[in-house]
Structure 1
Amino acid sequence: MMTEIYLDGNATTAVLPAAAAAALHAMAQGFGNPSSTHATGLQAKAMLDGARARARRVVGAGDGRLMFNSGATEGIQTAVLSALCALRARRARGERTGSVLLYGATEHKAVPESLAHWNRLLGLDLELRALPVDGDGRHDLAALRAQVGEAALLCTMAANNETGVISDLDGIAAVLADSGSDAYWLVDCVQALGKLALNLGATRIDYAPFSGHKLYAPKGVGMLYVRAGAPFTPLIAGGGQESGQRSGTENMAGIAALGAVLAALEDGAVFRSHTQLEAMRERLVASLRRALPGVVFNMPMATSLPTTLNFSVPGLASKELLDLFDAARVRVSSGSACSSSKAAPSYVLEAMRLPHWRSGAAIRMSFGPHTDLAMIADACARIERCGEALRASCLVPSELAPSARDGVIQLGVDGACTWLLTDAASRSCVIIDPLAPLAGRLAAYVRCQDYRVAAILHTQAPPDGGAARQALLDELGGHGAAPAGDALGWPAHAAPLALGPQALVRVAAGAGRAYYLLGRAGAGGVAPQDVRFAFTGALAAAELDAARIELDTLLCPGHDEQNLLCSSLRAERGLVAAVDAGANLSAAGLEAFLLSHPNALLIDVREAYEHAAGGAAALGGRAALSVPLSRLGEHVGDWLRGERVPLVFFCRSGNRSGKAVACLHRLGYAAAWHVSGGMALGEAALAPLARAA
């Protein structure tokens, strides 16, 4: 099995071996309570004091406070509470305070949520206002200059966690100084530690939280710097630990581990230099550009951390890229929901006013300063293999010509669906309800397979005025472009539209709408009993002509916000017996289940490009049937009409396989299960077939 390559360092990092050893020593030998006055406690206190002294040097604390806590969220809460308590006291004394809590529009959600929480609890009724950023993700200093007079508290980041964009802290400080503002200033320094030079005591910054697990320490330990003279109110009161600043017995194992990381920062031998990290990033950039045609980077390289890349690829959803990289055991992150449901675009990229397709389809690739060249080289090789997998699957432009196959393929963006119908023998295809974000992808598939586009159809007048259709025609560039048709794209000469041995029939639904039936061609069209699929667009089941559609014909919608995938009149009318929705199998119990159900089919709903990137999967020598979720509709009808053998679905995470099972249950196929957690939790059982790393 391929080794894992972890490129999600901005989310968390592995624990540095020296840090793990320090934590273990603290638990085994240095386990004393630093508040105790006997020798064991004094030894623990010496370790605590040594770690704090080291932390003060690393961040340049000067005369400021430096306390240990549970992490950045606690630090943010403490800082916000301290500032707002001071503002309340100033207001009570009749002193001037600003009226706005100003925070960067790209801040981590912990900041605005903390502001709203304490503003409400303390009854201050201050206005929360987002400070805009420019197209490069840096704070808009002109907007800050215009609003700083109203600010009571300003919250910004040193570097953004999604994009790695480095804030112009000197520029912000200059605006504060020039305006004479007395606003308190909180700077989230979570991503800065170990990546940017820090000298906090020489700045105007009042509060700076840190989190250990972002730089090779364990989770549950962090630090908060407070400038000398800045107001301070403890978030946790009690026994008076941390000089009364943060009560509760200290997390000595975590602090010892963080101290070991800080020691590594000081010695300069463990972590890579800025120049070395930039060189690593450039190698990743070059491989991404070779692997992913049209890749766009969502951050400026010159003003971003050298350990962070944020990118989008035209025509590919972030979920698809995440699945692809995960199949190759390259761990990256995505903020978007599944491409077949309503996407959740990155609020950071939206604040930068990037196009929706970029903010909704972004991937973050990040690594830490302990990364070595061998891992980057391996990552680059796998990235390029992922590109080969996409080309082999015709998802990006390719000169390859894989064997064509008949198919009904569902593609989705933001809950809307495009359907692609293909016929291998005639090399022809039909596209129903094209979506502009999928134009490049559809065109790449058509060109790669050398299809003739028999028609580009709509189920209703397109809301974009035909822009998506035109974008698709432009991408096709005359390659197999569909003939002109009526307002919905139906060819003027066609009654039924031939698609190999099948025929596509249009059914008018009134008000300029239609739906399409696909089935075995017969005299004069397609008989109701021969209809396999009905492409319904936005039509409700009640609007369909039941005389033309049997109860079990698959309904293929134009919108699928609920991830139903497909339906039937029987299901829509509630004629299907209820099925237990909890048909989950643990990875550990999968082998036993298959042994007790020897006729069960093991079904892999991952896409073909995932297999190409990381290998197909098997269990105990039993190969799985490949049924990509995008092609589930091709098989559902056969399963419903055939013997009800047990079907066991799996995928990378259990998400897609769960949707497949829910779909089958809704259609009345009770003998369907899925592997909860998928390959992510069951790699020992669902082992990918051997493939060289």
Structure 2
Amino acid sequence: MINLSKNTKQPLSLIYLDANATTQVLPQAASAALSTMETLFGNPSSSHITGLQAKQIVDKTRQQAKSIIGADEGKIIFTSGATEGIQTAILSALVNAKATLNKTKSYSLLYGATEHKAVPESLKHWNKILEINAEIKAIPVDEKGQLDMDFIAKEVPNALMICTMAVNNETGVYQDINFLDQTIRANNPNVAWMVDCVQALGKTDLALALTSIDYAAFSGHKLYAPKGIGFMYVKENAPFTPIIAGGGQESGLRSGTENLPGLAALSEIFSMLLGQSEASFTPVKTLHLYRLQLVSALTQAFPEITFNHSFENSVATTLNFAIPGFSSKEIMDLFDAANIRVSSGSACSSKVTRSFVLDAMGLPAWQSESAIRMSFGPAMTQTEIDIACNRIVSAAQALVQSCLTLGTKSIDTHTMNTNSITDKTELEGLVQFKVGGSCSWLYVDKKTQSALFIDPLPEVSERLQTLLTCRGLDLVAVIDTHGHADHESCRNSIAKKLLAEQQSDSLGWPADAQTTNIHGQKYPYIILGDKWLIKIATPGHTDDSISLLLCDPITHSAEKLQVHYAFCGDLILMDSIGRSNFSTSSTPAMYSSLQLMNTLIGKDSLICPSHDYHNEFTTCLETEMTGNSLLRQVMNSEIDIEEFSSKKIKMDKHIIEESGNEIMCGAFTSNLASACQKVVVHEYDSASLTKAVQKSSNMQLIDIREPHEYALQHDEKFTNNVPLTRLVQFVKEQQQDKEQEFVLVCRSGGRSQLAAQALGRLGFENVGHLKGGYALHQY
């Protein structure tokens, strides 16, 4: 098998900092569960000795739970976890409320705007099922995540139930339970009140019997117990409706044979919390010191870091932060490469998803989109914190590998698996930057240390300037292919900083450009190393649209252009033609522009549009004409301008106007989309890849993560590193050898699959990827 630890240096130890998602089961808890499965396996409902022994575990764990949460007066009911507890509490409260509804009155159900989604979704579900039809309202929070008490005081008199959170799972922000209690009961003594206490267990002191809380939900796997075990607190005399009926276990409150191994493990955790075990958890005061140490390391690693919550009102075990200029996915990928596990505040996709918690707190969009959560539990040790801090600083230094930062700090080689992670990788040729579906293109000529930037996006402006400084590159030009409708160009700001002396037109084309003659027509061009960049007017999408052809120098006006890349804006996109229904669009002009491009660039030149909505990276006319009948008809002169205009107008009518926050600039239709299905690529696992490598002497194994990820740690069999940002350059270099066998790998298999599909779409015949990536195949 492909053994991703064989022939490599000692793999990095795991640093797990995602305890708010789940925790490992502590050895003591695992041992207790295993012992129970093997020796105390009886049914607690059985009256024989084995059953009585089992029941003793249940009773002991219940009494421990009462002590820990300060609930001597209430009931403890064991559940499968917090979600079941939340469901049971909401169902119980609403069934009771329904019996007392006044049909002439309007009611509401209140929940904190930063609650875990299990709460509002459960409220919606049971509100509908029980046909209560109350209005569900989110209680606003301030910039520190504190619930709006004035809102509660105003709304709670008409509320059937109010749900709040003891500690937030994303930010660690805790609420003032006593203040909440006073506010709620002063305005509605009888409203049902549920508190999600999942993140509070073991991190804060709880005294539920001293409050008027009716229900509280807890989960074992957030505090070193196995998944599938939890419990809920129910205040004495609070309304209760069992969500699971059957054999009458848990005094008829929750039927089903008890999860005895889970309870035994939970009991062991409780013993540690209560000081009844030889093992113990780290005191809260020390946990605060751990957090300060992590903060110091993060600030050293990322000097511009922004923390998304106040430390004054959050538990010691949670940090939520954002790093300017980096998406949450980029930081997650970086940390994963360093074998540090953290959580993202957004989804890992090309369409950025913001954190609803940080949005509710009113934080800027970039903080919400870039949020990273770092969390640990009370079993954390000083040794683990020291290793984590060293690893964080070292991982950040690897960003120098990709020139994403200008760091100069030395590396502690004892904490990393590479002695030269700050050595910059070679950079020559084309680099693609993507933000959502939009693309910017950087071309670098290594010999002259010069570069040009095409279709600049504001989100990558600072990254560009860092890269130019890091590489010592001179910017020759920054050019837009047209006036973009879906975003504001940052061309002027970049030019002002880096090309202050250069005179240019409105799109950035230099005024001192030379001209050349091609097929009897004059075109302006600028020189970049040993290549020319030729400007071609290609109106249609907009009246100012241009295409930029990077080609070999022209020695004779009649010779065929050797075009390496055609930056055509939104004239031709993957699986599409640019839309032509803007006020400055022209379908006749687009017809002429398409035919001109066909004449100039040929069938194989790589097209680099300003949008890539489906992660296909690049294309060429041969590929596009295969799947796009309208484009093929234009290029082969099978239809005239009038017929093209008619068909194009109909096509544009079916454009999906927006994708997320983006205006769609391509004329995609359902028929066209169905005609452009994803290419099926070969998926390997470790065993099948081992056999394939042994069978083939010509197979190339390629790691397609970014250079900083690759530098931190990689399998040495994957000797080539071709990051996605440079995949188009790779395609150009390999165009003449599309039969070569490639197998791609990345962190989790997502990027490698996209890259493999893109290569397959362009005619590469033997491309596969390692399914699950490094995540499923150990280093």
Q: TM-score range by the shorter chain?
A: over 0.9
Q: Residue 136 of structure 2 corresponds to which residue in structure 1?
A: 128
Task: Please give the per-residue CA displacement for 1:60-79, whole angstroms capped at 9, x wherever unaligned.
Answer: 11321111110011111111
For 1:408 and 1:153, how far apart are their aligned partners in 2? 58
Q: Residue 415 of structure 2 corresponds to which residue in structure 1?
A: none
Whichever residue aligns with residue 47 of structure 1, its letter is I
Is 1:486 matched up with 2:505?
yes
When the two structures are aligned, how many residues end up with a matched partner?
674
Q: Residue 217 of structure 1 corresponds to which residue in structure 2?
A: 225
Task: Please give the per-residue CA displacement for 1:507-550, whole angstroms capped at 9, x wherever unaligned.
Answer: 32322222322232324899765212222333344454322332
Q: Residue 584 of structure 1 corresponds to which residue in structure 2?
A: 683
Q: Residue 10 of structure 1 corresponds to which residue in structure 2?
A: 20
Relative to 1, partners in 2 of residues 1:528 and 1:182: Cα closer, same or farther, differing over 3 Å? farther
Relative to 1, partners in 2 of residues 1:265 and 1:216: Cα closer, same or farther, differing over 3 Å? same
Q: Residue 283 of structure 1 corresponds to which residue in structure 2?
A: 293
Contact 2:112 2:138 in 1 (8 A): yes
Contact 2:679 2:761 in 1 (8 A): no
Relative to 1, partners in 2 of residues 1:370 and 1:603: Cα closer, same or farther, differing over 3 Å? same
1:392 CA displacement: 3.5
2:162 is matched with which residue: 151, 154, 161? 154
Matches of residues 453-602 of structure 1 in structure 2 within 5 Å? 453-463=475-485, 468-469=490-491, 472=494, 478-479=497-498, 483-494=502-513, 495-510=524-539, 511-523=543-555, 529-541=561-573, 542=577, 543=590, 544=594, 545-574=597-626, 581-602=680-701
Relative to 1, partners in 2 of residues 1:358 and 1:525: Cα closer, same or farther, differing over 3 Å? farther
Q: Residue 33 of structure 1 corresponds to which residue in structure 2?
A: 43
Return 5+ residue gaps in structure 2 as ranges: 1-10, 409-421, 514-523, 578-589, 629-675
1:470 CA displacement: 5.1
Task: Please give the per-residue CA displacement for 1:624-676, whole angstroms capped at 9, x wherever unaligned.
Answer: 21101110000112323225111000011111101100101111212100000
For 1:80 and 1:401, how far apart are their aligned partners in 2? 57
Is 1:254 matched up with 2:262?
yes
1:338 CA displacement: 3.9
Contact 1:237 1:247 in 2 (8 A): yes
SS at match of 1:570: helix
Is 1:656 matched up with 2:751?
yes
For 2:387 and 2:461, how far apart are their aligned partners in 1? 32
Q: Residue 367 of structure 2 corresponds to which residue in structure 1?
A: 358
Contact 2:703 2:720 in 1 (8 A): yes
For 1:539 and 1:271, how far apart are their aligned partners in 2? 62
Task: Please give the per-residue CA displacement for 1:65-101, whole angstroms capped at 9, x wherever unaligned.
Answer: 111110011111111111111111111xx49976111
Matches of residues 55-66 of structure 1 in structure 2 within 5 Å? 55-66=65-76
SS at match of 1:573: helix
SS at match of 2:203: coil
Matches of residues 364-443 of structure 1 in structure 2 within 5 Å? 364-398=373-407, 402=424, 405-443=427-465
1:424 CA displacement: 1.4
Matches of residues 600-639 of structure 1 in structure 2 within 5 Å? 600-612=699-711, 614-619=712-717, 623-639=718-734
Task: Please give the per-residue CA displacement for 1:569-591, whole angstroms capped at 9, x wherever unaligned.
Answer: 23323359988614110123211
Whichever residue aligns with residue 608 of structure 1, its letter is P
For 1:514 and 1:560, how far apart are their aligned partners in 2? 18
1:383 CA displacement: 0.8
1:411 CA displacement: 1.7
Whichever residue aligns with residue 654 of structure 1, its letter is G
SS at match of 1:116: helix
SS at match of 2:505: coil
Relative to 1, partners in 2 of residues 1:312 and 1:493: Cα closer, same or farther, differing over 3 Å? same
Relative to 1, partners in 2 of residues 1:484 and 1:25: Cα closer, same or farther, differing over 3 Å? farther
For 1:565 and 1:226, how far apart are their aligned partners in 2? 56
Whichever residue aligns with residue 600 of structure 1, its letter is M
1:506 CA displacement: 2.6
Contact 1:455 1:482 in 2 (8 A): no
SS at match of 2:282: coil
1:347 is matched with which residue: 346, 356, 365? 356
Q: Residue 676 of structure 1 corresponds to which residue in structure 2?
A: 771
Whichever residue aligns with residue 384 of structure 2, its letter is M
Return 5+ residue gaps in structure 1 as ranges: 688-693
TM-score for both structures, normalised by structure 1: 0.93
Is 1:67 matched up with 2:86?
no
Relative to 1, partners in 2 of residues 1:327 and 1:470: Cα closer, same or farther, differing over 3 Å? same
SS at match of 1:546: helix
Q: Residue 313 of structure 1 corresponds to which residue in structure 2?
A: 323
Relative to 1, partners in 2 of residues 1:496 and 1:170: Cα closer, same or farther, differing over 3 Å? farther
Contact 1:212 1:221 in 2 (8 A): yes
SS at match of 2:475: strand
For 1:630 and 1:481, how far apart are their aligned partners in 2? 28
For 1:15 and 1:528, how far apart are their aligned partners in 2? 67
Whichever residue aligns with residue 706 of structure 2, its letter is E
Contact 1:401 1:448 in 2 (8 A): no
The RMSD of aligned alpha carbons is 2.3
For 1:528 and 1:90, how far apart are their aligned partners in 2? 85
Q: Residue 177 of structure 1 corresponds to which residue in structure 2?
A: 185
Is 1:239 matched up with 2:247?
yes
Relative to 1, partners in 2 of residues 1:415 and 1:40: Cα closer, same or farther, differing over 3 Å? same
Once structures 1 and 2 are overlaid, which stretch shifts more, 205-214 or 150-159? 150-159
For 2:148 and 2:528, how far apart are their aligned partners in 1? 56
1:409 CA displacement: 1.1
Whichever residue aligns with residue 611 of structure 2, its letter is H
TM-score for both structures, normalised by structure 2: 0.83
For 2:687 and 2:309, how far apart are their aligned partners in 1? 42
Contact 2:400 2:423 in 1 (8 A): no
Relative to 1, partners in 2 of residues 1:97 and 1:374: Cα closer, same or farther, differing over 3 Å? farther
Whichever residue aligns with residue 632 of structure 1, its letter is L
1:206 CA displacement: 1.4
Whichever residue aligns with residue 502 of structure 2, its letter is P
Is 1:114 matched up with 2:122?
yes
Q: Residue 271 of structure 2 corresponds to which residue in structure 1?
A: 263
SS at match of 1:487: coil
1:204 is matched with which residue: 212, 216, 225? 212
1:463 CA displacement: 4.6
1:186 is matched with which residue: 194, 199, 209? 194
Contact 1:579 1:670 in 2 (8 A): no
Whichever residue aligns with residue 121 of structure 1, its letter is I
Q: Which has the larger Rg?
A: 2
Relative to 1, partners in 2 of residues 1:527 and 1:122: Cα closer, same or farther, differing over 3 Å? farther
Whichever residue aligns with residue 374 of structure 1, its letter is T
Relative to 1, partners in 2 of residues 1:236 and 1:668: Cα closer, same or farther, differing over 3 Å? same
Whichever residue aligns with residue 713 of structure 2, its letter is G
For 1:471 and 1:229, how far apart are their aligned partners in 2? 66
Relative to 1, partners in 2 of residues 1:535 and 1:87: Cα closer, same or farther, differing over 3 Å? farther
Relative to 1, partners in 2 of residues 1:482 and 1:304: Cα closer, same or farther, differing over 3 Å? farther
Q: Residue 691 of structure 1 corresponds to which residue in structure 2?
A: none
Relative to 1, partners in 2 of residues 1:551 and 1:624: Cα closer, same or farther, differing over 3 Å? same
1:23 CA displacement: 0.3
Contact 1:454 1:482 in 2 (8 A): no
Is 1:272 matched up with 2:282?
yes
For 1:637 and 1:348, how far apart are their aligned partners in 2? 44
Whichever residue aligns with residue 660 of structure 1, its letter is A
For 1:188 and 1:140, how far apart are their aligned partners in 2? 17
1:140 CA displacement: 2.1
For 1:670 and 1:211, how far apart are their aligned partners in 2? 50
Contact 2:91 2:126 in 1 (8 A): yes
Task: Please give the per-residue CA displacement for 1:248-292, whole angstroms capped at 9, x wherever unaligned.
Answer: 001100111111111110108611111111111111111111111
SS at match of 1:267: coil
Contact 2:458 2:488 in 1 (8 A): no
